[in-house]
Amino acid sequence: MVSDYKQAKIALKETKKNFKDNPTPENEMAMLEARSIVILVIAIYLLAALLPSAISALNASNTTGWTATQIAIWSVLSIVILAVIIIKLTE
The domains of the chain are located at 4-89
CB 61 within 8 A of CB 74: yes
Cα–Cα distance for residue pair 72/55, rounded to 1 Å: 15
Q: Which residues have C-beta within 8 Å of that of residue 63, sequence separation ≥ 6?
A: 70, 71, 74
pLDDT in tens, 15-36: 776 665 566 666 666 666 777 8
55 contacts 81 by C-beta, under 8 angstroms:
yes
Alpha-carbon gap, residue 89 to 91, rounded angstroms: 6
Q: How confident is the model at residue 37 (pLDDT cuts 50, 70, 90)?
A: confident
Residue 76 predicted with pLDDT over 60: yes
